[in-house]
Amino acid sequence: MSITPSTGASDYRKLEESITMAPMERLESPEDTSQELLTLNMGPHHPATHGVLRLLITLDGEIVRDLKPIIGYVHTGIEKTAEDKSYWKVIPVVERMDYLAYYFNAMAFCGATETLLEVEVPKRAQYLRVIHMELNRIMSHLVWLGTSALDLGAMSMFWYCFRDRELVLDLFEQSSGQRMHTRYFQVGGVIEDVPRGWVEKVREFTAQMPSRVDQYKDLLANNEIVLQRLRGVCPLGEPETRALGVTGPLLRATGNPWDLRKAMPYSSYEDFDFKIPVGLDGDNWDRFAVRVAEIYESVKIIDQALDGLPEGPWITEDRKVALPPRHELATSMEALIHHFKLVTEGFRVPPGEVYFPIESPRGELGCFVRSDGSSKPARVHMRDPSFVNLQATAPMTEGSYIADLIATLAMLDPVLGGIDR
Amino acid sequence: MSFARGTPPVPDATGLELLAQELIESDAASVLGTLYFRDKGTLLVNPATIRETLQRLRAMGFGELMSVHGVDYYPEEPRLGVHYELLDMDALDRLTVKLRVPLDAPVVPSVTPDWPTANHQEREIYDMFGVIFEGHPDPRRILMPEDYEGHPQRRDFPIGGEPVQFTIDEAEGRSYTR
């Protein structure tokens, strides 16, 4: 077992180039061919890998015997970049990690920073965060549903889901000006109050969303092909799933109702009444059913948050952390100084280390921030759920057909931007 | 962090000391210190005993290893740190276990045999910080290319200047990566 990785650039290059497209040599006797193992490279550019995931699959005929995920193709060094930016400028960078759950990335980072600063987030901001995060969860699950159905051969689901996703993105655009990577969450609250008419728009959306999901369920859940592709396929038991650190819908599909929104509430999730859908067997069908059921629960949370949306400030009044209101700049010298300090240097954060976990659409998204007392974080690390969940691919799919591997990968819902960061 | 529904953070500062005492009783060299910061307990442990310590904590209820992350404490010594985030799903409690190793001997026993979830995360820390996990079943780089030199998350690793990889450079005898 050698620890040193570097065998020289050219050795590695030769190894990579040794893969040719020449036909494989056939063995003489038919007995031998039945035992032949084939190593197949899948990806990194493959539509069914949901990004640039490369899988090295060892096949025995059509049966998967071994599988190794190879990642790093979209590694962009976001954690390193974050160390070179002041805290409030890190938010847009970390948002781009898991590009389907940008509000969650921002929430994890802001939550960690707020814990270090001991800043109190106003109730209205907490509710606005919950509304946006649950809209984001619906959006993420819709993308998952559309692309997974596409993997199973259901073309039109993709268009339906993306049609509804547009509705969510329109809401994001209205509240923050951006469809994706909105930078809406700030340390201490949210950047702006929601515009007039936004709440009504969200209500329009939540009113129609459950019936839309009903339609999608009717289309898929009673479909013979979908049932055969999902039911009883690639199950993984609760103990194994937990040992692999898998969280989120994948763990809940095995029957373990672990959800950080209930277990360790953050951002006022304890105020809302919602259920945690769980599965029974931990097979692909349960993974599918849990996520679809979660969309209904998210709609319920949004409705409750809109009903109880408190009045008041949407960002902390602490001028050392949050920008002063625009109108004060013309009249108050102090506001001007605070504004100048914040946009030039940023705020300083007391030294310490915190880990702030939240429930993202894919599981526990934890942000570790180490501060050395300056205005830039000394270390930002995201415990991305996709990165950890990906380890479950091999135990799930060993011994199954390669077609089921595609279905399982779809139900795993990995986002490569989050895995590679 | 809000703890509604009457779930205060356990162990609190006192509980953390009791926990540390219990660990010290079974192995005097295991725990080097405790820290209670922002409602959360941290144990600083001896790197050599990390496997046994985590096993004992697992027996005490911390059944889940949620995250492993690497830290570079440059310019402090010992420079490299590894953090283990433990979770007790029944008592709804979290605990951080951390250790520090010097840069010239960055060797930590791997916990992957006990906690399969640590596999990818330990590989990432090796990749980014150069911490060597002894006993890891698959000690390779994970995010950076296999022939990459250096550990980019270290604080003294420069930003920028990453050359574009062209095969023609290698054919003409120039360096392929750096």
Report the range of poorest mean pLDDT among A257-271, B15-29, B87-101: B15-29
Under an 8 A CB cutoff, do A118 and B119 touch?
no
Structure tokens at B147: 């022939």
Has residue A416 been placed in a domain?
yes
Contacts 24+ apart (CB under 8 A), A255-259: A255/A279, A255/A280, A255/A282, A258/B89, A259/A359
Give the minimum alpha-carbon distance from A152 to chain B in angstroms, rounded to a whole number. Answer: 29
Give the range of the structural domain holding residue A358, as residue numbers without chain letter: 78-420
Instruction: From chain B, pick out residues whose CB is under 8 angstroms from the CB of A72.
Output: 141-145
Q: What is the band of B10 on the pLDDT scale with cuts at 50, 70, 90?
A: low
Please report residues of A whose CB lies closer than 8 A to that of B42.
Answer: 353
In this structure, is residue A246 part of a structural domain?
A: yes
Say if residues B153 and A80 touch (Cβ distance below 8 Å).
yes
Gyration radius of chain B's alpha carbons: 19
Tokens representing B46 are 């001896």
- A378: which 2 tokens? 């000394």
Is A361 part of any domain?
A: yes
Question: Among partner residues B116, B132, B149, which is closest to A3 by beta-carbon distance?
Answer: B132
* Contact A274/B at CB under 8 A: no
DSSP string, A33-51: HHT-EEEEEE-SSBGGGTB
Looking at residue A21, its pLDDT comes to 67
| Max Cα distance, chain B (Å) | 69
Residue A115 maps to a domain: yes
Q: List the single residue in A264, A390, A391 with the smallest CB-CB distance to B92.
A: A264
CA distance A29 to A52: 39
Q: What angle do CA A322, A324, A330 make, to 5 degrees?
A: 160
| Residue A70, beta-bridge partner list | A54
10-residue averages of pLDDT along chain A (421 residues): 50 71 61 72 79 87 88 89 91 91 93 92 92 94 92 89 93 91 90 91 94 92 88 89 91 91 89 92 91 93 93 88 88 91 90 92 93 91 92 90 90 89 84
Cβ of residue A33 closer than 8 Å to a chain B Cβ: no
Cross-chain Cβ contact B1/A111 below 8 Å? yes
Chain A residues within an 8 Å CB radius of B120? 387-388, 390-391
Q: Are B133 and B121 in contact (CB under 8 A)?
A: no
CB pairs A-B closer than 8 Å: 144
Delimit the domains of chain B by residue range. 13-144
Query: What is the token pair recorded at B23?
Result: 């660990």
Give how far A233 is from chain B: nearest CA, Å. 23
Cα–Cα distances (Å) from B155 to A36, A378, B69, in that order, read 48, 8, 15
- Is the residue at A190 inside a domain? yes
Give me A154's structure tokens.
Answer: 């259901």
In a domain, A22, yes or no: no
Do the Cβ atoms of B116 and A391 come within 8 Å?
yes
- Inside any domain, residue A8: no
Classify residue A402: in a domain, yes or no.
yes
CB within 8 Å: B2 and A266: yes
* Mutate which: B147, B168, B170, vs A, most A CBs within 10 A: B147
Task: Identify the CATH homologous superfamily for domain B13-144.
Answer: NADH:ubiquinone oxidoreductase Nqo5 subunit (3.30.460.80)
What CATH number is given to the structural domain containing A344? 1.10.645.10
Burial A141-158 (b: 16+ CB within 10 A, else e): bbbbbbbbbbbbebeebb
Structurally, chain A folds into a number of domains equal to 1
